[in-house]
């Protein structure tokens, strides 16, 4: 019997479609359903063409099929506003929810930092923070695992074309959620997040800058080594995650300059910000599947 | 040009844009000293915050000597007639900062976005308008796109609730004809009850000329800065502008001698460096680069041995926008590596 876990994607937009394309290559997750709310949506049409079952009546339309099709994992790529309800309904049927909205109902998940813990605890809802968070928090954690970080600041610069209307209408949610996760997951005592949208043509690749202020003088060698190792960890699921400059040191300031190139699955390669979200979300689901297959965790029982 | 009999509202930037030139280190006493001087001179509006607006305190833009809240609480109670504005860049500041500023007594909220990204301002403009604030949409780096694009973005901001729209020459790149064209189109197409404003930088020495062109084309609010204290080569120097307006018969309500004295006696003595069109500030204007990059590029030059001018020109070529200060050190590192300096 296949050990792949069957999954549903809610939200057939850019993130949902990119996720679907990545999932089709996964050894651990099998995409079965794509859920939307508009029968005419391009995303649902694309999913159908790729042989995926679709439903245009939201999560409610999917519920009767969850047990029948043995759906174990849901990816929510809708909005923070509807996420809580989606999660409640699917959790009740024993479906693990990977939240790609900024709702942050469940604990923040940044794979190389704390995914293993979440998987072992069988968290039924994990939140993937934000694209900026996925691109930068591993670096904050790489510094804070060497020595205490009193302040962590991240600046995410993304191309205008890669930022959808949801993020734009609620940009405060991006800065708040990311800053919170810089503290909770990154390990900085105080976190700050800044997002810049750049409309240059051709679109620029996602750039991320991480500044950490360490409590005591930074241990340059240990931090440099830790950062390089962490970059390799992220590269396992986002090959285009690259250290451009740094870490550079100036007093107690440690600065790291990253670039994120996507795989170019659904959106072009410059949209590394979308890629890092979908890749992190899929990596998270795969970890749950791996842990379930190895018997470390037991998924909710089904008759 | 005949501007005889026109009315214009001047808006002083020395305590916000001027924070860039002072690395955000203006003391509370200096702020109060300058703000009260401006108040006595009849300046109707004074902006007070970190140079990058509410919430700008950061490694990226610089930590200020005091918090936005401390500055606002020090200045506002001392003013007799002037009102205080605050700047907010979505992506940096949030509605929480906005609420704080409102509670401190800020009456004018200016929400600034890059000139093509107005749709990130809906939350903030909407909230300020709901509070009944004088709500301004501030379209930065306006030289980078067409007048039609500026109008399209302005309409979004008006739709969210802005009662005034600024065409902002953040790089000090524009020449008077461009200002006339852009302001003229906004004035012709936006509802009559929406005010139009212009914010200039003096990097090509065009602060005064551009501001006059803006008034001629229909702008009724003009930003400037006493003694020009602002990013790059500074903003339109207000004492000069007031003198020019007097000669042209434009009413601003600001007393010329009093503002001359604020410039000379209160602002110039606290400058860290002369605010002038030096080589690097001129490069900003010539290459169309965000004015607050100036001191960052000069510091990178000192630290990494690569020319500030080369850094700024390359940033312009890459289409860098306001807020991307982090790319200055990044680029300097890359250039220094290429030259074998590090």
Q: How many angstroms away from the CA of A159 is the closest CA of chain B?
A: 11
Supply the pTM of this predicted model: 0.96
- Residue A212 known to be catalytic: no
User: pLDDT category, A80, cuts 50, 70, 90?
Assistant: confident
Closest residue, chain B, to A212 (C-alpha): B59
* A24 CB-near residues (< 8 Å, 6+ apart): A31, A50
- Mean of pLDDT values over B163-180: 98
Quick one: CA dihedral B310, B312, B313, B315, positive or negative?
Answer: positive
Instruction: Report the distance separating Cα B202 and Cα B278, nearest Å.
Output: 11
pLDDT at B232 over 70: yes
Instruction: Report the distance separating Cα B262 and Cα B37, nearest Å.
Output: 6
Q: Which residues pair with A216 in a beta bridge?
A: none
A155 and B326 within 8 Å at the Cβ level: the answer is: yes
A199 and B319 within 8 Å at the Cβ level: the answer is: yes
Nearest-5° Cα angle at B100, B16 to B22: 20
Q: What is the pLDDT of residues B253-262, one digit of tens each?
A: 999 999 999 9
CATH of domain A5-128+278-293: 3.40.50.720
B60 and A253 within 8 Å at the Cβ level: the answer is: no
User: pLDDT category, A303, cuts 50, 70, 90?
Assistant: low
Residue from A177, A198, A251, A257 whose CB has the most chain B CBs within 10 Å, to mutate? A198
CATH of domain B292-338: 1.10.8.60
User: Which residues of chain A does B117 touch, with a Cβ-Cβ cutoff of 8 Å?
Assistant: 160, 168, 197, 199
CB A125 within 8 A of CB A101: no
The whole-chain average pLDDT of chain A stands at 95
Catalytically active residues of B, by annotation: 20
Q: What is the pLDDT of residues A233-284, one digit of tens each?
A: 999 999 999 999 999 999 999 999 999 999 999 989 999 999 999 999 999 9
Residues 211-250, chain A: which have Cβ within 8 Å of B? 211, 213, 244-246, 248
A213 and B319 within 8 Å at the Cβ level: the answer is: no
A153 and B58 within 8 Å at the Cβ level: the answer is: yes
Per-residue buried b or exposed e for A124-140, using 16+ beta carbons within 10 Å of the residue's own CB: bbbbbbbbbbbbbbbbb
CATH says B9-270 is which class?
alpha beta
Nearest CA to B46 out of B6, B19, B7 is that of: B19
B330 and A244 within 8 Å at the Cβ level: the answer is: yes
Range list for CATH 3.40.50.720 in chain A? 5-128+278-293
For chains A and B, CB pairs below 8 A equal 94
Q: What is the pLDDT of residues B204-227, one digit of tens each?
A: 999 999 999 999 999 999 999 999
Using the Cβ of A81 and the Cβ atoms of chain B, whether some distance falls under 8 Å is answered with no
Instruction: Specify the pLDDT at position A164.
Output: 85
Residues of chain B with a CB closer than 8 angstroms to some CB in chain A:
58-60, 90-92, 94-96, 114, 116-117, 119-120, 122-123, 318-321, 323-324, 326-327, 329-330, 333-334, 337
* B65 CB-near residues (< 8 Å, 6+ apart): B24, B25, B26, B27, B28
Q: Could you tell me what percent of chain B has a pLDDT over 70? A: 100
CA-to-CA dists, residue B314 to B16, B71, B301, angstroms: 27, 35, 14
Using the Cβ of A170 and the Cβ atoms of chain B, whether some distance falls under 8 Å is answered with yes
Range list for CATH 3.30.360.10 in chain A? 131-270
Q: How many angstroms away from the CA of B92 is the closest CA of chain A?
A: 5
Judged by DSSP in three states, B56 sits in coil
Range list for CATH 1.10.8.60 in chain B? 292-338
pLDDT at A1 over 50: no
User: pLDDT category, B56, cuts 50, 70, 90?
Assistant: very high
CA-to-CA dists, residue B20 to A33, A294, B275, B296, B301, angstroms: 53, 57, 11, 10, 18
B123 and A171 within 8 Å at the Cβ level: the answer is: yes
User: Which residues of chain A does B94 touch, with a Cβ-Cβ cutoff of 8 Å?
Assistant: 172, 175-176
Q: Domain A131-270 sits in which CATH superfamily? A: Dihydrodipicolinate Reductase; domain 2 (3.30.360.10)
Nearest CA to B174 out of B205, B150, B216, B195 is that of: B205
Q: How many angstroms away from the CA of A201 is the closest CA of chain B?
A: 8
CA-to-CA dists, residue B208 to A151, A263, B202, B215, B243, angstroms: 42, 50, 8, 11, 11
Q: What is the pLDDT of residues B105-148, one digit of tens each?
A: 999 999 999 999 999 999 999 999 999 999 999 999 999 999 99
CB A216 within 8 A of CB A147: yes
């Amino acid at each position: 019997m296949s050990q792949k876990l069957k999954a549903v994607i809610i939200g057939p937009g850019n993130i949902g479609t990119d996720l679907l394309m990545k999932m089709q290559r996964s050894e651990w997750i099998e995409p079965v359903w794509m859920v939307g709310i508009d029968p005419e949506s391009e995303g649902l049409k694309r999913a159908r063409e790729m042989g995926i079952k679709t439903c245009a009546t939201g999560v409610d339309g999917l519920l009767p099929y969850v047990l029948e099709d043995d759906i174990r994992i849901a990816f929510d790529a809708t909005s923070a506003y509807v996420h809580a309800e989606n999660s409640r309904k699917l959790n009740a049927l024993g479906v693990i929810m990977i939240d790609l909205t900024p709702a942050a109902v469940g604990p923040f998940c940044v794979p190389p930092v704390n995914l293993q813990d979440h998987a072992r605890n069988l968290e039924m809802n994990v939140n993937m923070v934000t694209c900026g968070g996925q691109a930068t928090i591993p670096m904050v954690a790489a510094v804070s695992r060497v020595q205490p970080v009193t302040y962590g600041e991240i600046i995410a610069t993304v191309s205008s074309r890669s930022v959808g209307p949801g993020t734009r209408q609620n940009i405060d949610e991006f800065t708040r959620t990311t800053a919170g996760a810089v503290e909770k997951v990154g390990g900085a005592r105080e976190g700050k997040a800044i997002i810049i949208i750049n409309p240059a043509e051709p679109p620029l690749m996602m750039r991320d800058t991480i500044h950490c202020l360490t409590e005591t003088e930074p241990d340059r060698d240990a931090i440099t080594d830790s950062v390089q190792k962490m970059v390799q960890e992220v590269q396992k699921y986002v090959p285009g995650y690259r250290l451009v400059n740094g870490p550079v040191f100036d007093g107690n300031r440690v600065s790291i300059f990253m670039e994120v190139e996507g795989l170019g699955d659904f959106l072009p390669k410059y949209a590394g910000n979308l890629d890092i979200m979908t890749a992190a979300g899929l990596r998270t689901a795969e970890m749950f599947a791996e842990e379930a297959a190895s018997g470390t965790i037991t998924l909710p029982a089904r008759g | 040009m005949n501007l005889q009999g026109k009315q214009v509202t001047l808006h002083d930037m020395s305590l916000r844009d001027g924070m860039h030139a002072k690395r955000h280190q203006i003391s509370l006493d200096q702020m109060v000293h300058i703000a009260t001087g401006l108040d006595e001179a009849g300046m109707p509006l004074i902006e007070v915050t970190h140079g990058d607006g509410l919430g700008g305190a950061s490694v990226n833009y610089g930590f200020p000597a005091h918090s936005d809240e401390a500055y606002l609480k020090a200045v506002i109670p001392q003013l007799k007639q002037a009102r205080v504005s605050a700047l907010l860049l979505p992506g940096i500041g949030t509605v929480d900062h906005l609420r704080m500023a409102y509670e401190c007594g800020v009456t004018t909220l200016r929400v600034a976005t890059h000139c093509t990204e107005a749709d990130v301002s809906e939350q903030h403009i909407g909230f300020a308008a709901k509070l009944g604030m004088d709500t301004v949409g501030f379209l930065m780096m306006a030289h980078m796109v067409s007048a039609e694009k500026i109008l399209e973005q302005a309409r979004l901001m008006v739709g969210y609730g802005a009662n005034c729209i600024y065409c902002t020459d953040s790089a000090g790149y524009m020449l008077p004809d461009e200002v006339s064209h852009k302001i003229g189109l906004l004035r012709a197409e936006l509802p009559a009850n929406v005010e139009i404003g212009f914010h200039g930088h003096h990097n090509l020495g065009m602060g005064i000329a551009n501001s006059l062109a803006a008034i001629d084309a229909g702008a009724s609010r003009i930003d400037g800065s006493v003694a020009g204290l602002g990013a790059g080569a500074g903003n339109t120097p207000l004492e000069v502008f007031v003198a020019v307006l007097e000669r042209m018969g434009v009413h601003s309500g600001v007393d010329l001698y009093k503002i001359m004295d604020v410039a000379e006696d209160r602002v110039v003595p606290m400058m860290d460096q002369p605010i002038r069109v030096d080589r690097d500030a001129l490069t900003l204007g010539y290459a169309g680069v965000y004015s607050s990059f100036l001191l960052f590029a000069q510091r990178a030059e000192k630290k990494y041995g690569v020319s500030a001018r080369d850094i700024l020109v390359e940033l312009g070529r890459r289409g860098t926008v306001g807020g991307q200060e982090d790319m200055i050190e990044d680029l300097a590192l890359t250039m220094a590596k290429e030259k074998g300096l590090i």
